[in-house]
Structure 1
Amino acid sequence: MKIWTVFLISLTPSYLFAQNNLGPRLTALGNNGAAVTDIWSLQANPAGVISLTKATVSLNYTKHLFSDEISTQALVAVLPFKNNYVGASFQQYGFAEYSESKVGFAYSKTFGKKLSFGLNGNYHQLKITNYGSSTGFSVDVGALYRLNKNFTFGGFISNPTKQKFNSSEISAQISTSFNVGVSYYPSDKVLIATAVSKVLNNPLMLA
């Protein structure tokens, strides 16, 4: 496991938390959370939780391909009331010697039947054995527009203010990303979605 520790520590000068756990549905869509409504939108576009009509909680646990010791645990919860939605999320990634965790609190609101906005505040923590730990804060801002029953457009920005971890022991930035997407529902049982994402200082990604 030491090789994993060395590898992940070597990444700390760059951006962290670039990949959120988006749950099984959005993961199956290529981590496309820009314009798809789902409870796991809390980890992407916070405006995307507007499809929920009652209090909902979801858990997800992932074992990663290259090592049985590396895992991701995540939990999301949303409580809707009238045209308002409050949510909370938790995610932890890593293993004994290295871990990243994030706690988020979100608020979303619909304006009529077509438009919604969401805001998510995040508390980040990074721990590396023998290097110490560091914390930081970030926000995600998102919007969703339902053109008609078939087309929905969405976009969100993660960490637009380019916040960093506030420790001298660990030099790392919290990732800043820009995401736009569209979803198309040709029928009640079929969904086609695509999104373009740009993580600062990284190549453009298409989902």
Structure 2
Amino acid sequence: MKHTLLILCFGIFFSSDLFSSTGGLWNNPRSSGMGNISVMLSDHWSSQKNPAGLAHWGRMSFGACYENRFMVPELAAMGLGVSVPVMNGVMGLSVSSFGYELYGENNIGLAFGKILSEQFSMGIKLNYLSINQGEDYGSMGAVIGEIGVMAKISDEFNLGAHIYNVNRAKIDDYQNERVPSILRIGLGYQMNEKVLLCVEAEKDIDAKARIKVGMDYHIIDPLFIRAGVNTNPAIISFGFGLIWKRFIFDFSTNKHSVLGYSPQLGLIFAINKD
């Protein structure tokens, strides 16, 4: 318990949102291994990061991931996701959970992504976020909207943008407390068939901007190697992915300069082949 309280104190002092999945941007192991970059990526987890990416994923798939945040069980985060091609687009259902009995967050969301033209895709998502504070503090909840777009600039460059909490949802009347509204924009550069380089900027409207840089290197079949960094706070990341038939296994870890490591793993089963 002392260890947990120490971690929480450090986290509140340095960056309170490191602990919270509020903001809907809880990580998946692929994104985490690339420095928490995601806005221009198209994969199973696009429903959690940028629903516009679901349209390019275009597969029925099931996935689960788990993060041991700062190696403290009370700060663990986990998520489940399903994507299904429907109505000339792809629908994604996601469920996530963070925390323990004294403080926990649970989120369920439904997303839809659609290709609008050869260059553009768009996605929307609706979430319900509940926060449970334990003991006599009760619980709170809010409905949260998201919108995302992707643009193919050329064969090499792909642009993504996403806004979380477009409706500025209020979580509590006390001091007019609202769920964070987060804006992200990023650019991906497909250097060649094996190397993807990405840069992303993230801005909580009530906090400093973050800059992220990451790479995904398809070193050999079936292995991918990933690395990245981001600012505010300073975090370095690395990870790998393995694809075997219809299974995708990902592992990553982030290292915070003060709070240490946050390992994460995930497994995806894709029913449809590309």
TM-score by length of 2: 0.68
2:191 is paired with a residue whose SS is: strand
- For residues 85-144 of structure 1, give each alpha carbon's deviation from its aligned partner in whole angstroms, at most 9, with x where no partner exists: 111111111112110111100111101222100000010000011211111011110000
In the alignment, structure 1 segments of 5+ residues that lack a partner are none
5 Å-filtered alignment, 1:64-143, equals: 64-81=69-86, 83-130=88-135, 131-143=137-149
- For residues 131-162 of structure 1, give each alpha carbon's deviation from its aligned partner in whole angstroms, at most 9, with x where no partner exists: 11111011110000112221100101111221
Q: Please report how far the alpha carbon of residue 190 of structure 1 lies from its aligned counterpart in structure 2 after TM superposition.
A: 1.0
Give the total of aligned pairs. Answer: 204
5 Å-filtered alignment, 1:127-166, equals: 127-130=132-135, 131-166=137-172
Measured in 1, the distance between the counterparts of 2:113 and 2:181 equals 21
Measured in 2, the distance between the counterparts of 1:58 and 1:149 equals 29
5 Å-filtered alignment, 1:55-70, equals: 55-70=60-75
Aligned residue number for residue 3 of structure 1: 5
TM-score by length of 1: 0.88
Measured in 1, the distance between the counterparts of 2:133 and 2:52 equals 33
Q: Please report how far the alpha carbon of residue 48 of structure 1 lies from its aligned counterpart in structure 2 after TM superposition.
A: 1.2
Alpha-carbon spacing, 1:150–1:76, altered in 2? closer, same or farther (3 Å):
same
5 Å-filtered alignment, 1:128-207, equals: 128-130=133-135, 131-166=137-172, 172-207=177-212
Alpha-carbon spacing, 1:9–1:133, altered in 2? closer, same or farther (3 Å):
farther
Measured in 2, the distance between the counterparts of 1:4 and 1:135 equals 28
Q: Please report how far the alpha carbon of residue 25 of structure 1 lies from its aligned counterpart in structure 2 after TM superposition.
A: 0.8
Alpha-carbon spacing, 1:30–1:99, altered in 2? closer, same or farther (3 Å):
same
In the alignment, structure 2 segments of 5+ residues that lack a partner are 213-274
